[in-house]
Structure 1
Amino acid sequence: MDKKRILYVEDDETLAFLTADNLENHFEVVHSNNGKEAFDLFCKDNFDLCVLDIMLPDMDGFEIATEIRKRNQEIPIIFLSAKTMKEDRIRGLKLGADDYLIKPYSIEELILKIEIFLNRSQKSVEKTIKTYQFGSFEFEPENYQLKNSEKDITLTEREAALLQLFLDNPNTVLKREKILNALWGTDDYFMGRSLDVFISRLRKIIKEETNVRIENIPRVGFKLVVE
């Protein structure tokens, strides 16, 4: 597995050497001792996390973080600073930093923090919105959005759940009882009437699609046909 890339910005030569040496056992580290140079590196390259000192030449850590957040809202940022005032910590966190460690810090704690934020960031990336493509439509069930070049429709929660159930089982007969239990947890008569209403609504929405239709299977259920 490729190592995660860390942008590490620190102008204290001794501290930078010791910290980078330890971090390099776990990550790929790009070190800079100058604020402006560090920001230029960020703009030109890809990083998974930033570790920023605050007191830096040409551009301080707060300024770097501000500019980073204008371009990337997700990348984790950790401040390392000798500035112990509560106001400085609050300022750093308000700028969008994920954590603020006071010097002298524990290398073990820093590595643990980095691993936690990288793991959290990775999970965020993996949690992408699931989409379905059928006919000319794109469907985002989590957002209840169904759209193509002509329409952009927000479905109701039940309509979205019904459409997702069909798309998870294309060209397959779904019994009424299965659909009712999946959407309402019951298959009683009144829910059955509601199901018919939702089927009718979905049919109207996709009626212009020549290769997609919802077929009624008498006394059994329905089938989404995708050709």
Structure 2
Amino acid sequence: MPKILILEDDYKMGAELRQFFTNRNFTCDQVYDGLLFFKQIELEEYDLYILDVNVPGLNGLEVCKRVRQSNRAIPILMLTAYSAVDDKVTALEFGADDYLVKPFHLEELMARVNALLRRSAHSVIEETHIFQIEDLNINTADQKVTRSGKEIILTPKEYKLLELLASAQGRTVSKQTIASKVWDINFETGTNTIEVYINYLRNKVDKGFDRPLIQTRAGFGYYLK
């Protein structure tokens, strides 16, 4: 059941929209100003946002812009009383996926919402990536790792290191690259942090299996065979 969050300060319109979506098997919540919007999304996860532009606290355009700074995937539909081309362009430049001018027909709104949800679902499927190395399976969608069907529990850093090695598709990954991508630091020759985490991975990924997958290329780095 899709969940929608509506930012709309018109109580009557908000109630009408909530009822409309509820009758079509959606879960629908409403907030009345932009500041409450961000408090609400800390409490609940949603599949789509509908944002009115002219609301108190923080207007819909600014809300859209801030959302896009941390979440590029969730569909956003803007509602506004303004029909000027410049207003539409601004909304799209701020990250909105679609734009609907008031007054509008509810069925048109429904069609646009369904289109955005279909597009979003398709994008999620496209972004799902599964790495398969021998009997090792890494699903980047849910960060789940299995080997020979047995789940391997990794810490966030261990997982990030393993995914980095897998994404190299057999090529050697240097310590400099690992330090930059996994720890966001410049490599220092005096630290053995990378070696320690490689050993952690070997104990979890290779130990107990006949064929070791994590390989060292002396003087260069590491790779998955």
What is the TM-score of this pair, normalised by structure 2? Answer: 0.61
Amino acid at match of 1:146: Q
Amino acid at match of 1:152: V
1:82 and 1:102 in contact (8 A); partners too? yes
Alignment of 1:1-227 (within 5 A): 3-26=1-24, 27-127=26-126, 128-134=128-134, 145-146=168-169, 151-152=172-173, 211=211
Q: How many residues align?
A: 152
Deviation of 1:44 after TM superposition, in Å, equals 3.0
User: What stretches of structure 1 move > 4 A for 4+ residues in a row?
Assistant: 135-140
Q: More displaced, 39-48 or 53-62?
A: 39-48
d(CA) in 2 for partners of 1:211, 1:99: 51
Deviation of 1:54 after TM superposition, in Å, equals 0.4
2:78 and 2:96 in contact (8 A); partners too? yes
Structure 1 unaligned segments of length 5 or more: list them.
154-209, 214-227
1:33 and 1:56 in contact (8 A); partners too? yes
2:64 and 2:76 in contact (8 A); partners too? yes
2:131 and 2:137 in contact (8 A); partners too? no
Deviation of 1:145 after TM superposition, in Å, equals 3.1
2:7 and 2:37 in contact (8 A); partners too? yes
Root-mean-square deviation (CA, aligned residues, Å) is: 2.8
Alpha-carbon displacement from aligned partner over 1:161-198 (angstroms, at most 9, x marks no partner): xxxxxxxxxxxxxxxxxxxxxxxxxxxxxxxxxxxxxx
- Partner-residue secondary structure (3-state), 1:55: coil
Determine which structure has more spread, i.e. the larger CA radius of gyration: 1
Amino acid at match of 1:56: V
Structure 2 unaligned segments of length 5 or more: list them.
139-161, 175-209, 214-225
- Partner-residue secondary structure (3-state), 1:131: strand
Amino acid at match of 2:63: I
d(CA) in 1 for partners of 2:114, 2:46: 14
Deviation of 1:120 after TM superposition, in Å, equals 1.2
Amino acid at match of 1:29: C
Same amino acid, percent of matched pairs: 28
Deviation of 1:137 after TM superposition, in Å, equals 9.7
What is the TM-score of this pair, normalised by structure 1? Answer: 0.60
